[in-house]
C-alpha cells in the first residue's frame, strides 16, 4: 500500500513537471496529461480507502541526532480526505477541459492544478507538522499561481499577491505554534508520537499550551480565511472559476479545519480545553455571521458564493473549536460538514462557472435572469446545490449542519443562536441569488444568448448534484468521513431540527418574496445593508492600517538608515578617516626640491644620531 | 588535488594576460572548476579524506603553511557554492571589449580567492585569500560600476578595510592568547583560549566578521555596492564572498564559546536589526537592484540567528541543528541571490531599466525569464522545495531547540519569533517586485522585450536546478556535515575544561562572565 | 703632494655645490648635473682614501679605485636613462621646470 500512496503523492508532481518541462507548447496534451493524472490519483485514493492503514517515511534532513521526516500517514481520516480531494479535483479537472478550452495559457493552468493536487495531497497525508507546513506553503503558492492565472489583469495580479501575503501572516503564527508545540510535546513533530506527551502535560503548562494551540490556529485563520484574515478569499475569485471551486471552496480552504482536526486526533482534544478552544469557536462563530451578512449584498455571483464559503468554514471552525469542551465528537461534526460542503460547494461554483461561461464571462447576477429556461439542466443542478447549502432536509448539507448546531446548543448556547441566525441568512442570500440569476426575464444580452453548456462541463455538475443529495448517507460516507453521531445513532427530530427548519423557511421565504420579479436590489439604499455591501469597510481599514504601518515604518526606517546609520554613525568614521588623510595630504606637496630638503635633513639627522648622539 | 581549484582560475588569469580570449578563458576555467569541485565533493562524500590536500611550508617562524584541504564538511559545501556560483557568474553579463580583460580577470581572482579562503586550513591563508578576492571587487566597482561608482567603491573599501583590520586584530589576539604552535586550524582548535581573553577576542571577531557580512549597523555598504557592481561581481560577492565572515564565525566559534556567549544579547539585537530594520528598508526600495542588495543584507540576519542559537548553546553537541542550519541557509542564499542578480541583469538588458514603476507585464513577453525569476524569488522568500526553505526551517527549529516549556521564552526564542515576521516582510517586497515587473499589462519598456535564449538561460538554469535538488533533498548537502565521533569527543573535552554556567542548555540568557579584571 | 685633508676639502666643496644646486635650481637638467657633481665628489673621496691608505708593501688599496670605475660605469648608464626620461618629460609637458611638475601632489 505504501508504494501506491507514494505514487498518489508524486503522480501530480510528475505531471506538473512533465507539463512545465515537456509539453508546455502543446496545451491539449498538457490538459489530457493532467486529467489522466488526477483520474489516476482518484482511483488510487478509492483503492486505499478499502485497504488497511499504512505509514511510511524517509529522512529529509539530518543534523546530528535531529532529523526531519517526510512521511505519509494513511489513517481513516487521511484516506477519506484523499477521496474528497481527488474526487472534487477530478471533476474540476474535467470541467476545466470545457471551461478553459480557449485559454491562451491552458498548459500553465493545468500545470498549476497539478501542483495544487500534489500540495493538497501532501497536506492530507503528512505524518508530521513540518511536512504539513511544507505543503501548507505549497498550496498557498499554487493558489497564488492560479488566482494570478490572468496576470495581465491588474486586479488578478493584486488578488494573487494579497492571498499569498495574508496567508503568510497566518503562517507566521502557525510556524511559531508548531515550534512551541514541538518544545511542549517533547520535541517531536510526528503526529503519531504526540498522544503520550500530550496526556502527560502538567497543569502548570495549560496557558502555554493554549497559546501554542492558538498560534497554530493562526495558520488555519489564514488558510481557511477566518476573521480577521478573511479578506483574501473574496478577492481570490479573480481566478478562473474551476479554481475557485477546487481550491477556494472545496479543498484548500478546508485545510485549516483538517489540520486542527488532525491535531485533535493526534494529541487528543485536551490541549484545546480552556481559552484556546473557546477562542477558536468564537472566531468561527464571528466569521460565519459576518460572512453571511456580507453575502446578502453581493452582486457578483462568485462573490456571493465566496462569502457563503467563508460562512460555512466558520461553522466548521466553530465545531472544531467546540471540541475543547465537547470532545472529539464536535470535531467530527466539523469534518462531516467539511465533507458534505466540499461536494455541494464545488457544485455551486462549477454551476456558477457554467453560467458565467454561458453568459460570456458576465459575473453580475443582475445582468443575468431567466437562465432556467435557457439552460435547464445546469439550473437543476444549481438548485440542488442551493438546497444543500440552505440545509434543506434531507440533502447532505442538512445532516452535517444539524450535528454542528446540536454540539453548539449543548456546549455553547450563544454560539448556537449565532449559528441559527446564520441558518436564516444562508437561505435568504441563496434564494436571492437563485431568484435573480435564474428566474424572471433576461436583463442583458449575455443572458439572452445563453445556451446549455457542453457535456464535458455538464457531466461533472450532474455527478456533483447527485453527491450533494446522497453524500451524507452512511453507504457512502461511513468509509470516508470520521465516525460521528449521525452515522452512529441516526437522526431524531429534536429542538435543533425544528429551529433550523423554521430558519430555513423564514430565510428562503423572505428571500423569495423580496427578490422575486425585481431587477435591482430593494435593500441597496438601506444604510445597514450598505455596510454589508461594503464588507463592513474592513478592506479599506486594512489598507489604511497596512499603509500606515508597513509603508510609513518602511519610509521612516529608510530615512533613518540613510541619515542616522549611514550618515552619522558609520559615516562619521569615514569622515574622520578622510580628515586624517587630508592632514597627511599636505605633506605630499609634489615639489621635488621640498622632498630633497626633507631628505637631506633626514640624512643629517641619521648621521647625527648614529655618529654623535651615542 | 584541491590546489587545482585555485590554480585553474590563476592559470586562466595568466593566459588572459598573455593574450588569450578573456571570455573564453574565464568560461573554460570556471567550467573546469565546477567539474573538479563536484568531483572532489563526490570523492569526499564517498569517504576519501587523505590524498586530496596540499601542504607547503611557507614560513617557519611563525609556522605558516599554504595548506589547502577540506577541513570538514563545511569547507566542502562552501567550495561547492563557490564553484557553482563562479560557473554561473562567468556566463552572466557582458561588457565592452576594452573592459573584457579586467572584467574576467576580476571574476577569476574573486573565484580563486573565495575557494582559497574556504579551503585553507591555515589561519593566515584563510585571511589572505579573502583579501585577495576583495581587491578586484573594489577595482571593478570603481572602474566598471554604474552610477556614482567612485564614491561607492570608496565606501566599500573603507567599510571592508575597517572590518578586515578589526578582524586581523582579533585573529592576532586569538593566536597570541591560544599559544598555538602553528597557525593551522587543527592545532588552533586543540588549544584553549583563557576565559579572560575570550570576551575581547569574541567582540573583535564579531565586529570584524560582522562588517564583512554586512551585519547591522555596518550594512550600508552592501546594497549600493551590489547595485553598482557588474552583475557577475555582485553574484560572486553577495553569493559567495560574503559568506566568508559567517564561515569564519562558525569555524572559530569553538575557540571562544564563552566569550561569544557573553555577547549573545548584542548579537540578537543586531541580527534583528538586519531582519526587521533592513527588511523595512528593503520594502521601501524603488529599484530592483537595490532591493535585491538590501534583501541579501536582510537574509544574513537568519544565518546570524542560527549562529546565535549555536552561541547560546555554547557547543555543537548542545544544539546540533544550529550549525547545519546555518550552512544550509548560507548555501541556499548564495545560490538564490546569485540567480536573482544574474536575472536582474538580464531584465535590464531586455528593457533598459530596473525602476519597478517603469516595468510591467514582462511575463507575457518573456515567460521563461518570468519562470526563472519567479522561482528565484520564491526561493528567496522561503518556498518549500527550494533550498532556502530547508535552511530557514532548520534555523527556526534551532532557535527553539533550547526552550523549556516551563520557562518564558529566552532571547533566542524571542529573536526567532520576531525573525519569523521577516518571512512576511520578504514576501511583501518580493511579490511586489514580481508583480511590478512581470504582471499587469505590458508597458513602454517591456513591449519589445524578447525572451531569453537558451544560452542566456543556462547559468540561471544551473542555479535553479541546484536550488531544487537541495530543496527537495537537503540531505545531499547535510550528509557532508555528519559529525565524526572525534569531533564530538574533542568538543566534550573542551567543555569539561571550561564548564558552562549551571543552566538549562542555553535557553536562558547567558550570564556575562568574569571580565578580565576579576 | 697635497694632503688627504685638501682632497677631502675639495670633495666636500664639490658635494656642497651639488647639493645646493639640487636644492635651489629649478631647471631639471641643472639639477641633474648637480647630482652628477655630487657623485663626482663621492668618487673623489674614494680615490683620495685609496691613495692615502697604503698597505704594508707601500702600494695603495686599489679596491677604492676599482669601485670608482664601477660608479662611473653605472653613472653613465644612469645618465643615459635619466636624460632620456627628461627628454620624454619635456616632450610630454613642454617644460623642465620642477615648479611646474607637481602632478604627484596629494
In order of their start, the domains of chain C are 4-100 (1.10.287.3510)
Which of residues B447 and A193 earns the better pLDDT score? A193
Beta bridge partners of B287: B355
Low-confidence winner among A40-49, A561-570, B188-197 (lowest mean pLDDT): A561-570
This prediction has a pTM of: 0.84
- Give C59-84 pLDDT, tens digit per residue: 888 888 899 999 999 999 999 999 99
The interface residues of chain A toward chain B in range 65-104, judged by CB-CB distance below 8 A, are 65-66, 68
| Res A227: pLDDT | 84
| Res B516: pLDDT | 42
Q: How far apart are CA A57 and CA A42, in angstroms?
A: 22
Q: How far apart are CA A436 and CA A303, in angstroms?
A: 15
pLDDT at residue A10 is higher than 50:
yes
pLDDT at residue A189 is higher than 60:
yes
Q: How far apart are CA B142 and CA B149, in angstroms?
A: 5
| Cα angle for residues A95, A96, A102 (degrees, 5° grid) | 130
pLDDT at residue B489 is higher than 70:
no
Which of residues A455 and C58 earns the better pLDDT score? A455
Interface check for A586 against chain C (CB to CB < 8 A): the answer is yes
Subunit contact A157:B416, Cβ cutoff 8 A? no
The grid cell for B373 is: 525569476
Q: What is the CA radius of gyration of chain C?
A: 18
Instruction: Give the number of beta-carbon pairs within 8 Å between A and B.
Output: 151
The grid cell for A267 is: 494529541
pLDDT at residue A366 is higher than 90:
no
- Give the distance, in angstroms, between the CA of residue B298 and the centroid of all CA atoms in the same chain: 12
Subunit contact C105:A588, Cβ cutoff 8 A? yes
CA of A555 to nearest chain B CA: how many angstroms apart?
6
| Res A570: pLDDT | 66
Q: Which residue of C has its CA nearest to A600?
A: C19
- Give B394-412 pLDDT, tens digit per residue: 999 999 888 888 888 888 9
- Give B270-318 pLDDT, tens digit per residue: 999 999 888 888 888 888 999 999 999 999 999 999 999 999 988 888 8
- The mean per-residue pLDDT over the stretch B323-329 comes to 93
- The mean per-residue pLDDT over the stretch A573-586 comes to 76
Chains C and B touch (3+ CB pairs under 8 A): no
Cβ-based burial of B447 (10 A; exposed 0-12, middle 13-18, buried ≥19): middle
- The mean per-residue pLDDT over the stretch A504-524 comes to 83
| Res B496: pLDDT | 52
Beta bridge partners of A432: none
| Res B503: pLDDT | 42
| Band of residue A40 on the pLDDT scale cut at 50, 70, 90 | very high
- C83-96 burial by CB neighbour count: b if 16+ within 10 A, else e? eeeeeeeeeeeeeb
Q: How far apart are CA B26 and CA B90, in angstroms?
A: 6
Subunit contact A182:B400, Cβ cutoff 8 A? yes
Indicate the domain borders of chain B. Answer: 1-173+222-242, 268-518
| Band of residue B493 on the pLDDT scale cut at 50, 70, 90 | low
- Give the strand pairing for A66-74 and A54-63: antiparallel
CA of B16 to nearest chain A CA: how many angstroms apart?
36
Interface check for A527 against chain C (CB to CB < 8 A): the answer is no
Interface check for A187 against chain C (CB to CB < 8 A): the answer is no
For chain B, the farthest-separated pair of C-alpha atoms sits apart, in whole angstroms, at 72
Q: Count Cα neighbours of A194 within 13 Å in the Cβ-side half-sphere.
A: 22
CA pseudo-torsion sign A394, A396, A401, A404: positive
Share of residues in chain A with pLDDT > 70 (%): 97
| Band of residue B452 on the pLDDT scale cut at 50, 70, 90 | confident
| Band of residue B52 on the pLDDT scale cut at 50, 70, 90 | low
Number of helices followed by number of strands (H, E) in chain C = 3, 0
Q: Where are the alpha helices (DSSP H) in B179-287?
A: 185-190, 195-212, 222-228, 231-236, 243-252, 257-262, 264-272, 278-283
pLDDT at residue A569 is higher than 90:
no
- The mean per-residue pLDDT over the stretch B112-128 comes to 91
- The mean per-residue pLDDT over the stretch B175-189 comes to 86
Interface check for A13 against chain B (CB to CB < 8 A): the answer is no
Subunit contact A592:C31, Cβ cutoff 8 A? yes
Interface check for A204 against chain B (CB to CB < 8 A): the answer is yes
Dihedral angle computed from the Cα positions of residues A202, A204, A206 and A211, in that order, rounded to the nearest 10 degrees: -120
User: Can you list the positions of beta strands (E) in B51-198?
Assistant: 54-60, 63-68
| Res B514: pLDDT | 42
Subunit contact B403:A183, Cβ cutoff 8 A? yes
pLDDT at residue C43 is higher than 90:
yes
pLDDT at residue A525 is higher than 80:
no
Q: How far apart are CA A354 and CA A345, in angstroms?
A: 14
Interface check for C35 against chain A (CB to CB < 8 A): the answer is no
A431-445, B400-414, B434-448, C73-87: range with highest mean pLDDT? C73-87
- Give A351-360 pLDDT, tens digit per residue: 999 988 888 8
Cα distance from N-terminal residue to C-terminal residue, chain B: 50
| Res B309: pLDDT | 92
A116 chain-B contacts, CB cut-off 8 A: none
- Give A226-267 pLDDT, tens digit per residue: 988 888 888 888 889 999 888 888 888 999 999 999 999 888
pLDDT at residue B512 is higher than 50:
no
Mutate to test the interface with A, among B160, B401, B439, B457 (most CBs of A within 10 A): B439
| Band of residue B509 on the pLDDT scale cut at 50, 70, 90 | very low
Interface check for B441 against chain A (CB to CB < 8 A): the answer is yes
- Neighbors of chain A with 3 or more C-beta pairs under 8 Å: B, C
| Band of residue B518 on the pLDDT scale cut at 50, 70, 90 | very low
Cα distance from N-terminal residue to C-terminal residue, chain A: 98
Instruction: Give the number of beta-carbon pairs within 8 Å between A and C.
Output: 32
Mutate to test the interface with C, among A593, A599, A604 (most CBs of C within 10 A): A593
| Res B491: pLDDT | 52
- Give B15-29 pLDDT, tens digit per residue: 999 988 888 899 999
Q: Are A147 and A236 in contact (CB under 8 A)?
A: yes
| Res A86: pLDDT | 92
| Band of residue A566 on the pLDDT scale cut at 50, 70, 90 | low
Q: Is the backbone peptide bond immediately before A318 cis, with ω within 30 degrees of 0? A: no
Amino acid at each position: 500500500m505504501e508504494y501506491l500512496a507514494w505514487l498518489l503523492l508524486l503522480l501530480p508532481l510528475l505531471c506538473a513537471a512533465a507539463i512545465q518541462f515537456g509539453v508546455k507548447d502543446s496545451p491539449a496534451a498538457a490538459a489530457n496529461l493532467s486529467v489522466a493524472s488526477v483520474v489516476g490519483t482518484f482511483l488510487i485514493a478509492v483503492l486505499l480507502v478499502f485497504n488497511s492503514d499504512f505509514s511510511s517515511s524517509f529522512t529529509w534532513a539530518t543534523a546530528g541526532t535531529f532529523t526531519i521526516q517526510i512521511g505519509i500517514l494513511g489513517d481513516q481520516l487521511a484516506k477519506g480526505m484523499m477521496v474528497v480531494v481527488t474526487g472534487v479535483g477530478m471533476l474540476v479537472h474535467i470541467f476545466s477541459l470545457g471551461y478553459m478550452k480557449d485559454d491562451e495559457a491552458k498548459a500553465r493552468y493545468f500545470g498549476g492544478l497539478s501542483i495544487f493536487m500534489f500540495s493538497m495531497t501532501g497536506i492530507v497525508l503528512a505524518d508530521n507538522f513540518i511536512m504539513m507546513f511544507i505543503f501548507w506553503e505549497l498550496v498557498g503558492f499554487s493558489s497564488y499561481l492560479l488566482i494570478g492565472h490572468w496576470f495581465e489583469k491588474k486586479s488578478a495580479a493584486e488578488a494573487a499577491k494579497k492571498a499569498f501575503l495574508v496567508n503568510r501572516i497566518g503562517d507566521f503564527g502557525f510556524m511559531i505554534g508548531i515550534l512551541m508545540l514541538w518544545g511542549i510535546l517533547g520535541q517531536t513533530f510526528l503526529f503519531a508520537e504526540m498522544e503520550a506527551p500530550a496526556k502527560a502535560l502538567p497543569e502548570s503548562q495549560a496557558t502555554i499550551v493554549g497559546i501554542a494551540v492558538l498560534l497554530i490556529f493562526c495558520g488555519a485563520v489564514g488558510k481557511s480565511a477566518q476573521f480577521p484574515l478573511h479578506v483574501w478569499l473574496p478577492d481570490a475569485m479573480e481566478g478562473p472559476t474551476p479554481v475557485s471551486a477546487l481550491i477556494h471552496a472545496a479543498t484548500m480552504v478546508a485545510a485549516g479545519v483538517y489540520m486542527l482536526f488532525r491535531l485533535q486526533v493526534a494529541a487528543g482534544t485536551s490541549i484545546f480545553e480552556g481559552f484556546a478552544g473557546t477562542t477558536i469557536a468564537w472566531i468561527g462563530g464571528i466569521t460565519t455571521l459576518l460572512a453571511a451578512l456580507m453575502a446578502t449584498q453581493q452582486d457578483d455571483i462568485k462573490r456571493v458564493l465566496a462569502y457563503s464559503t467563508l460562512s460555512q468554514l466558520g461553522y466548521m471552525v466553530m465545531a472544531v473549536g467546540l471540541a475543547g469542551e465537547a470532545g472529539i465528537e464536535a470535531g467530527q461534526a466539523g469534518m462531516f460538514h467539511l465533507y458534505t460542503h466540499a461536494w455541494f460547494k464545488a457544485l455551486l461554483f462549477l454551476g456558477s462557472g457554467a453560467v458565467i461561461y454561458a453568459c460570456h464571462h458576465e459575473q453580475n447576477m443582475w445582468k443575468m435572469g431567466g437562465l432556467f429556461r435557457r439552460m435547464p439542466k445546469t439550473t437543476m443542478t444549481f438548485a440542488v446545490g442551493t438546497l444543500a447549502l440552505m440545509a434543506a432536509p434531507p440533502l447532505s448539507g442538512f445532516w452535517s449542519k444539524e450535528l454542528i448546531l446540536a454540539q453548539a446548543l449543548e456546549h455553547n448556547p450563544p454560539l448556537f443562536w449565532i449559528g441559527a441566525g446564520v441558518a436564516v441568512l444562508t437561505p435568504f442570500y441563496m434564494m436571492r441569488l437563485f431568484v435573480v440569476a435564474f428566474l424572471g426575464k433576461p436583463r442583458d444580452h449575455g443572458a439572452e444568448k445563453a445556451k446549455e453548456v457542453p457535456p464535458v462541463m455538464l457531466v461533472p455538475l450532474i455527478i456533483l448534484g447527485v453527491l450533494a443529495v446522497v453524500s451524507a448517507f452512511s453507504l457512502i460516507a461511513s468509509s470516508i468521513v470520521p465516525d460521528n453521531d449521525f452515522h452512529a445513532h441516526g437522526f431524531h427530530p429534536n429542538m435543533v431540527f425544528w429551529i433550523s427548519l423554521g430558519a430555513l423557511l423564514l430565510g428562503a421565504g423572505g428571500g423569495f418574496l423580496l427578490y422575486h420579479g425585481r431587477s435591482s436590489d430593494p435593500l441597496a439604499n438601506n444604510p445597514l445593508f450598505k455596510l454589508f455591501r461594503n464588507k463592513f469597510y474592513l478592506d479599506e481599514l486594512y489598507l489604511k492600517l497596512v499603509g500606515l504601518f508597513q509603508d510609513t515604518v518602511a519610509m521612516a526606517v529608510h530615512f533613518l538608515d540613510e541619515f542616522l546609520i549611514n550618515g552619522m554613525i558609520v559615516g562619521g568614521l569615514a569622515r574622520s578617516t578622510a580628515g586624517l588623510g587630508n592632514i597627511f595630504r599636505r605633506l605630499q606637496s609634489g615639489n621635488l626640491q621640498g622632498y630633497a630638503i626633507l631628505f637631506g635633513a633626514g640624512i643629517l639627522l641619521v648621521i647625527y644620531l648614529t655618529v654623535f648622539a651615542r | 588535488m584541491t590546489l587545482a581549484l585555485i590554480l585553474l582560475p590563476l592559470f586562466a588569469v595568466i593566459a588572459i594576460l598573455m593574450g588569450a580570449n578573456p571570455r573564453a578563458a574565464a568560461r573554460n576555467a570556471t567550467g573546469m572548476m565546477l567539474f573538479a569541485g563536484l568531483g572532489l565533493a563526490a570523492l569526499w562524500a564517498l569517504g576519501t579524506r587523505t590524498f586530496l590536500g596540499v601542504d607547503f611550508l611557507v614560513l617557519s617562524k611563525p609556522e605558516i603553511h599554504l595548506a589547502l584541504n577540506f577541513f570538514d564538511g563545511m569547507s566542502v559545501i562552501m567550495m561547492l557554492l563557490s564553484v557553482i556560483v563562479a560557473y554561473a557568474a562567468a556566463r552572466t553579463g557582458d561588457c565592452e571589449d576594452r573592459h573584457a580583460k579586467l572584467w574576467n580577470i576580476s571574476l577569476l581572482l574573486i573565484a580563486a580567492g573565495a575557494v582559497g579562503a574556504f579551503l585553507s586550513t591555515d589561519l593566515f591563508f584563510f585571511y589572505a585569500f579573502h583579501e585577495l578576492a576583495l581587491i578586484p571587487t573594489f577595482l571593478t566597482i570603481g572602474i566598471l560600476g554604474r552610477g556614482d561608482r567612485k564614491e561607492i567603491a570608496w565606501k566599500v573599501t573603507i567599510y571592508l578595510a575597517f572590518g578586515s583590520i578589526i578582524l586581523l586584530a582579533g585573529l592576532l589576539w586569538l593566536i597570541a592568547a591560544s599559544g598555538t604552535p602553528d597557525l593551522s586550524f587543527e592545532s588552533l582548535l586543540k588549544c584553549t583560549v583563557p576565559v579572560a581573553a575570550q570576551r575581547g577576542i569574541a567582540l573583535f571577531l564579531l565586529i570584524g566578521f560582522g562588517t564583512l557580512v554586512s551585519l547591522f549597523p555596518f550594512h550600508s555598504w552592501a546594497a549600493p555596492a551590489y547595485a553598482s557592481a557588474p552583475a557577475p561581481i555582485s553574484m560572486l560577492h553577495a553569493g559567495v564572498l560574503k559568506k566568508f565572515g559567517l564561515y569564519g564565525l562558525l569555524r572559530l566559534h569553538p575557540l571562544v564559546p564563552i566569550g561569544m556567549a557573553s555577547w549573545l544579547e548584542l548579537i540578537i539585537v543586531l541580527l534583528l536589526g538586519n531582519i526587521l530594520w533592513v527588511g523595512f528598508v528593503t520594502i521601501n526600495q524603488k529599484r530592483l537592484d537595490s532591493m535585491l542588495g538590501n534583501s541579501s543584507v536582510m537574509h544574513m540576519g537568519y544565518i546570524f540567528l542560527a549562529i546565535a542559537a549555536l552561541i547560546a548553546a555554547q557547543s555543537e553537541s548542545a544544539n546540533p541543528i544550529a550549525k547545519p542550519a546555518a550552512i544550509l541557509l548560507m548555501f541556499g542564499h548564495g545560490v538564490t541571490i546569485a540567480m536573482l542578480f544574474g536575472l536582474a541583469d538580464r531584465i535590464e538588458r531586455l528593457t533598459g531599466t530596473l525602476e519597478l514603476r517603469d516595468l510591467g507585464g514582462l511575463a507575457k513577453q518573456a515567460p521563461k525569464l518570468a519562470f526563472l525569476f519567479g522561482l528565484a524569488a520564491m526561493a528567496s522568500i522561503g518556498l518549500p522545495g527550494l533550498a532556502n526553505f530547508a535552511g530557514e526551517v532548520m534555523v527556526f527549529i534551532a532557535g527553539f531547540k533550547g526552550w523549556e516549556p516551563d520557562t518564558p521564552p529566552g532571547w533566542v526564542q524571542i529573536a526567532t519569533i520576531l525573525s519569523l515576521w521577516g518571512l512576511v516582510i520578504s514576501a511583501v517586497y518580493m511579490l511586489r517586485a514580481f508583480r511590478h515587473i512581470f504582471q499587469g499589462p505590458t508597458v513602454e519598456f517591456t513591449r519589445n522585450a524578447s525572451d531569453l535564449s537558451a544560452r542566456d538561460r543556462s547559468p540561471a538554469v544551473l542555479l535553479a536546478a541546484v536550488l531544487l535538488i537541495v530543496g527537495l533533498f537537503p540531505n545531499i548537502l547535510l550528509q557532508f556535515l555528519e559529525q565524526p565521533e572525534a569531533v564530538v569527543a574533542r568538543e566534550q573535552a573542551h567543555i569539561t575544561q571550561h564548564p558552562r554556567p549551571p543552566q538549562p542548555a542555553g535557553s536562558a540568557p547567558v550570564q556575562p562572565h568574569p571580565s578580565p579584571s576579576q | 703632494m697635497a694632503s688627504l685633508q685638501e682632497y677631502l676639502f675639495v670633495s666636500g666643496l664639490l658635494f656642497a655645490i651639488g647639493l645646493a644646486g639640487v636644492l635651489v635650481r629649478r631647471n631639471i637638467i641643472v639639477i641633474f648635473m648637480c647630482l652628477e657633481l655630487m657623485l663626482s665628489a663621492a668618487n673623489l673621496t674614494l680615490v683620495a682614501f685609496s691613495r692615502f691608505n697604503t698597505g704594508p708593501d707601500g702600494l695603495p688599496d686599489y679596491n677604492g679605485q676599482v669601485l670608482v670605475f664601477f660608479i662611473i660605469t653605472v653613472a653613465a648608464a644612469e645618465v643615459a636613462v635619466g636624460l632620456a626620461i627628461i627628454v620624454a618629460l619635456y616632450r610630454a609637458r613642454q617644460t623642465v621646470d620642477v615648479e611646474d611638475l607637481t602632478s604627484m601632489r596629494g
